[in-house]
A and B are shown apart, each in its own frame.
Chain A
């Protein structure tokens, strides 16, 4: 029983990371109806920005308490990646704005590969150790359950960012414009919304979330390399679809479900004779099931689309 609860906890923390990345996917989709496949790569860039910052400002960071240095690292990396996200949007996606959606999708894959291989060229192919931004020491050890500070911080940050995002989308003027744009781009222009600015902002926000995800992920699994965003990006995408793509609480829910199921499968599949290495498939089996039985996702609304 104790082991089961530990597995649930493991899954919860793993899921919160997926949720965080899924938020970025779902938001860009919610506003623009387009999957930004380069999201996982911005996630990687976020981790590398934090890595670079610590190389550069290491002694300064070591002198101040870790929550302060963590907050600084998160903030700076999020801003850097937000700018990067906007630049990518400006250069790669904006020229295609009134083109068929398939063109944009293929471009996104191209952008993703471009960032990955440029990353490999710039940072080298070997993995690097990620600095310990958050202490990985265990805080609770009650009843055989272990939770580390890093895990709690990750969960808390995910909740914080989720609430913050919800606030931006629901309570601010920019959020109102985002929702208007997602409902009908032409009408929103007629109502005085500057679509270009709103789309840029959406990309910036999404990329900032990805950067935060990358840093927290690297804090839990302290090795970074240029392709580190591929797998989590894919899982988070599945999570976003599972929750109902475009739906923010849905992304969070989807992330948690994927994380917990995956961990339970890894932990217990051996008991029924399936090697735990095959747990990878679980996320995708879930995706297929969802697409078959509830294509709009768990919290998604059914939308009729003309093809």
Chain B
């Protein structure tokens, strides 16, 4: 009897050791594992698909050029279905199961806010391509972004509205998205401090389709423009319904508008509306046009800002891996933090002490069913 008691734990231990060893061997493979969380399906699917295309392009390029540190890059992509809650789960999965060295994503601020503390706790550097809410990088020193932040973006749109002579602006916020709430907050602050008046403030939740009630209330204030800080799918419907109600004021927004779907769905209603963005694919700089051409050849469409930011976030990570000469958490973290004057597609990227990129924004307008470059506003 005694002997038997001894045999079973020993066998179990041996087995465990064998598995332990084999899993060790697996992580020590000849590849560098990089995780990516993107909304490939769901409400903001074009964001995830674009940023993923950009990221994948960067990975393919570096692998074709021989990889990094003598190893190939392996990208593990997880779809969070545009769902709050899902982003955190898949980030955990990537860290614990795929043993990733770094994490790329998410575009939406609300979902990056879920992933950031997880990456921070695990000591895995995370780079968000396009989350502009300031709180994202406040999660800790392992969390970075390659885009500007909402205080800047909100201020830019407020400056722009004032420069157009629009003194009365109504506001429509997506109260379910940290991104939209943040943008509205900074727009309001700057606009009110510089002589503008907010003539109506309404909100809705992502996924809503009917905005007539809010727009009717806004119509009462007779605004010169409406600041709609939400994402493209709701904004397109807002525009359609505003015109139906006889509201002709132009809509203003942020980079959350950047999707081909905006004009497909919004159609004529979007004419003459403005939004701020990270880059314009009309920019004639050779590096940008080169990127546009490569992207178009591969995906049959011009890249939007999310694609460019996805590409930049991956390239900055690779640059840091090269400089750190390691994929070890702390070393990689320091290398990313030291990124200076990196020539990205979306501008020169320098990460400040808050791990945010400082970059100019472009203002785009919709004219004849196309997104047209209007002006650049520096920070």
Say which residue of A3, A126, A136, A227 sits within 8 Å of B220 (CB atoms): A3
**A231 to chain B: which residues have CB within 8 Å?**
207, 209
Say which residue of B40, B41, B204, B240 sits within 8 Å of A276 (CB atoms): B204
**A129 to chain B: which residues have CB within 8 Å?**
261, 264-265, 267
A276 to B200, CA, bound (A): 12
From A167-175, A193-201, A262-270, the one touching the partner chain is A262-270
Q: Are B261 and A127 in contact (CB under 8 A)?
A: yes
**B264 to chain A: which residues have CB within 8 Å?**
128-129
Q: Are B203 and A277 in contact (CB under 8 A)?
A: yes
Task: Tell me how far the C-beta of B257 lies from the nearest C-beta in chain A, rounded to whole angstroms.
Answer: 14
Say which residue of A10, A14, A125, A270 sits within 8 Å of B40 (CB atoms): A125
**B246 to chain A: which residues have CB within 8 Å?**
138, 141, 146
- Is B366 interfacial (CB 8 A cutoff)? no
Task: Tell me how far the C-beta of B277 lies from the nearest C-beta in chain A, rounded to whole angstroms.
Answer: 19
**B267 to chain A: which residues have CB within 8 Å?**
129
A196 to B255, CA, bound (A): 55
Q: Are A10 and B244 in contact (CB under 8 A)?
A: no
**B176 to chain A: which residues have CB within 8 Å?**
277
Q: Are B210 and A275 in contact (CB under 8 A)?
A: no
Q: Are A125 and B244 in contact (CB under 8 A)?
A: no
Q: Are B204 and A223 in contact (CB under 8 A)?
A: no
A228 to B203, CA, bound (A): 20
A138 to B202, CA, bound (A): 24
Given A125-B45, A126-B45, A221-B210: A3 and B203 interface contact (C-beta under 8 Å): no
Within 8 A of A (CB), among B29-46: 40-43, 45-46
- Is A278 interfacial (CB 8 A cutoff)? yes
Within 8 A of A (CB), among B42-63: 42-43, 45-46, 49
- Is B201 interfacial (CB 8 A cutoff)? yes
Within 8 A of A (CB), among B260-275: 261, 264-265, 267
A275 to B171, CA, bound (A): 12
Task: Tell me how far the C-beta of A5 lies from the nearest C-beta in chain B, rounded to whole angstroms.
Answer: 10
A129 to B41, CA, bound (A): 17
- Is A103 interfacial (CB 8 A cutoff)? no
A152 to B245, CA, bound (A): 14
A270 to B202, CA, bound (A): 7
Query: A120, A223, A277: which has the most chain B beta carbons within 10 Å?
Result: A277
**A223 to chain B: which residues have CB within 8 Å?**
209, 233, 236-237, 261, 265
A266 to B204, CA, bound (A): 8
A129 to B217, CA, bound (A): 26
- Is A158 interfacial (CB 8 A cutoff)? no
Within 8 A of A (CB), among B211-258: 212-214, 216-217, 219-220, 233, 236-237, 240-241, 244-246
Contact with A along B151-179 (1 / 0, CB 8 A): 00000000000000000000001111000
**B261 to chain A: which residues have CB within 8 Å?**
126-127, 129, 223
A3 to B267, CA, bound (A): 27
**B201 to chain A: which residues have CB within 8 Å?**
270
- Is B205 interfacial (CB 8 A cutoff)? yes
A227 to B209, CA, bound (A): 12
Say which residue of B46, B174, B207, B212 sits within 8 Å of A10 (CB atoms): B212
Q: Are B45 and A222 in contact (CB under 8 A)?
A: no
Task: Tell me how far the C-beta of A117 lies from the nearest C-beta in chain B, rounded to whole angstroms.
Answer: 9
A302 to B42, CA, bound (A): 41
**A266 to chain B: which residues have CB within 8 Å?**
202, 204, 213-214
Q: Are A7 and B216 in contact (CB under 8 A)?
A: yes
Q: Are A277 and B204 in contact (CB under 8 A)?
A: yes
Given A222-B265, A270-B217: A276 and B210 interface contact (C-beta under 8 Å): no
- Is A296 interfacial (CB 8 A cutoff)? no
Say which residue of A3, A217, A221, A222 sits within 8 Å of B216 (CB atoms): A3
Given A14-B212, A223-B236: A278 and B175 interface contact (C-beta under 8 Å): yes
A221 to B265, CA, bound (A): 10
**A276 to chain B: which residues have CB within 8 Å?**
202-204, 213-214
Q: Are A10 and B175 in contact (CB under 8 A)?
A: no
Within 8 A of B (CB), among A213-247: 217, 220-223, 225, 227-228, 231
Contact with B along A153-193 (1 / 0, CB 8 A): 00000000000000000000000000000000000000000
Task: Tell me how far the C-beta of B95 lies from the nearest C-beta in chain A, rounded to whole angstroms.
Answer: 25
**B46 to chain A: which residues have CB within 8 Å?**
126
Task: Tell me how far the C-beta of B52 lies from the nearest C-beta in chain A, rounded to whole angstroms.
Answer: 12
Known: A14-B210, A221-B237, A277-B174. 9 other contacts (CB 8 A): A7-B213, A125-B41, A128-B265, A146-B246, A231-B207, A262-B213, A263-B213, A267-B213, A280-B205
9 A-B contact pairs sorted by A residue (CB < 8 Å): A3-B217, A3-B220, A7-B217, A125-B40, A126-B261, A141-B246, A267-B216, A270-B202, A277-B204
Q: Please provide the 9 A-B residue pairs with the shortest distance between their CB atoms, ordered closest to farther.
A: A277-B175, A125-B41, A266-B213, A221-B209, A267-B213, A277-B203, A275-B203, A10-B212, A125-B45
